[in-house]
Structure 1
Amino acid sequence: MDAINILRGLGSVARTKELVGRGVSRRQVDRHLVRGEMLRLRTGVIALPDAPADFIAAVLSNGRVTCLSGAKFYDLWSLHSPTCLHLSCKHGHGTGFTNHRELTVPVHPGAPLVGLVDVLVHALRCLPPLEAAVMVECALRRGDTVRSFLLDRLPGDRNGPARAALDLVTCTAESPVEVVARILFLGTGFHVEAQARLEGVGRVDFLLEGFLVVEVDGAAYHSDRRALRRDLHRNNKTIAGGYLVLRYSYEDIMFYPDDVLREVRGVLSGRRVR
């Protein structure tokens, strides 16, 4: 019985009784503790030296990681790192974390995590709408769950804001910044087509008012010279097809949205942008 691998399968931190329940003897645990291969965090709680800090905090608080704190463990998109720890604890006491007590689906089978659906439900109830929409868009695009399943867990007036955040999700984005850009453009009242297909060009990130193409580029957009030439050719074909083109970086969309909208409005109105 490989105690190290069993503990790693539990998120690298667990109660001793969980290890014993999976066939690990207390003698094995003691041997690993003496060698420094395991650490005793307090009586009854054992961890590997590289155990995630969030998991450690969850087990010590008798809870499970959720909401924005759970995004990285489920490989969900997020815009920011959490400024505080988000846990789900059945008890109502404890400090230093945000507690999301209600659970609607089974918890993670090994690690101290709530189920993926509850990570999303808690995010929709807790986070600013844009941040929650980014996480949910990732999950729905991957097929981790479906919109109706989330809606069933958001009934009543108190969940109205959460449902409104879910309405921002269209599953048309291929990156978090595209979610932000789509919501930015839609908020102005523009007619927005996301992932629009243009004859002879292919798919573009956004088509505004039927003639303005807006592309959102990542930091490492051109991997080599060939990719650059291909993109220049595509850009020229778009313009030759009668469309106008604006391109923006991640930084433009995330940090200078007012400048982006000023330029877009200028082009759409026919005014010269100064």
Structure 2
Amino acid sequence: MALEQILRSADGCINHRGTTVPPHPRLPIVGLADALVHVLQCRPAEESVPMVECALRRGDTVHAFLKARLPGTRNGKAGRALAAVDLTGESAIEVVARLLLRGAGLDVQPQVMVPGVGRVDFLDEGFLVIEIDGAAFHSDRRAFRRDRRRNNMTVVGGFTLLRFSYEDVMFAPDEILAVVFAVLGPRPVR
């Protein structure tokens, strides 16, 4: 295949030829910061924001460095996605859930300390605790028992508790929102 064929964009694809940081010294790959900028420009926020949060939490880049590479009005979508990065997600699936809940108009507070329970993934309207369960931290019997104790203490503390899985967040987001709004009832959403 000729080089010009490789460089041409296929239907629905964009070739990102510009780089702002040096590529990997030995491998034919683009630098992480450039990859993140391209992801912010081309992918939906639920895909790009978790990647950027992960890189920032790991110290691989900084917010200002990425923002400086998104100038002008043509980067509005990327800028909005970067503005949604707040480093409160402890996992990628929590970031996706935060975007889902806030995108529906909910004023969820992430990583809130609840007395007698500990830190919960989200608190909404001061009474609704929303936990997102990934398999990595809920895979053994001890974790299962710990979660049941936390569930019980949440209810004893006067909170309403909803738990959702990775599959719920990724494949049934409308069902999550329906359940959350059913619990919130006629309360106004901020």
Q: Same fold (TM over 0.5)?
A: yes
In structure 2, the gaps of 5 or more residues are none
The residue number in structure 2 matching 1:202 is 118
Deviates more, 1:193-202 or 1:216-225: 216-225
Which residue matches 2:160?
A: 244
Q: Unpaired runs of 5+ in structure 1?
A: 1-59, 63-88
Partner of 1:213: 129
1:114 equivalenced with 2:30 (yes/no)? yes
Residue 135 of structure 2: SS of its match in structure 1?
coil
3-state SS, counterpart of residue 52 of structure 2: helix
Change in CA separation of 1:93 and 1:233 when aligned onto 2, cut-off 3 Å: closer
Aligned twin of 1:66: none
Asked whether 1:169 is paired with 2:85, we answer yes
Calculate the aligned-residue CA RMSD, in Å: 2.3
User: TM-score w.r.t. structure 2 length?
Assistant: 0.88
Distance in 2 (CA, whole Å) between partners of 1:253 and 1:216 is 8
Deviation at 1:61, TM superposition (A): 7.9
- The Cα of 1:270 is off from its aligned counterpart by 6.3
Q: Distance in 1 between matches of 2:152 and 2:55?
A: 35
Question: What is the identity, as a one-letter code, of the residue corresponding to 1:243?
Answer: F
**Matched residue count:** 185
**Residues 194, 206 of structure 1: 8 Å contact kept:** yes
Larger radius of gyration: 1
Q: Describe the SS at the equivalent of 1:166.
A: helix
Structure with the bigger percentage of helix: 2
Deviation at 1:92, TM superposition (A): 8.6
Per-residue CA deviations over 1:3-22 (Å, capped at 9, x if unaligned) read xxxxxxxxxxxxxxxxxxxx
Q: Give me the identity figure in percent.
A: 57
Alignment of 1:32-111 (within 5 A): 93-94=7-8, 98-111=14-27
1:218 is displaced (CA, Å) by 1.5
Question: 2:174 & 2:141 partners in 1: Cα distance?
Answer: 32
Q: Match for residue 184 of structure 2?
A: 268
Q: Which amino acid aligns with 1:262?
A: A
Structure with the greater relative contact order (CA < 8 A, sep ≥ 6): 1 or 2?
2
The letter of the residue matching 1:134 is P
CA distance in 1, matches of 2:161, 2:142: 21
Aligned mates of 2:63, 2:137 — CA distance in 1: 31
Q: TM-score, normalised by structure 1?
A: 0.62
Q: CA deviation at 1:95?
A: 5.6
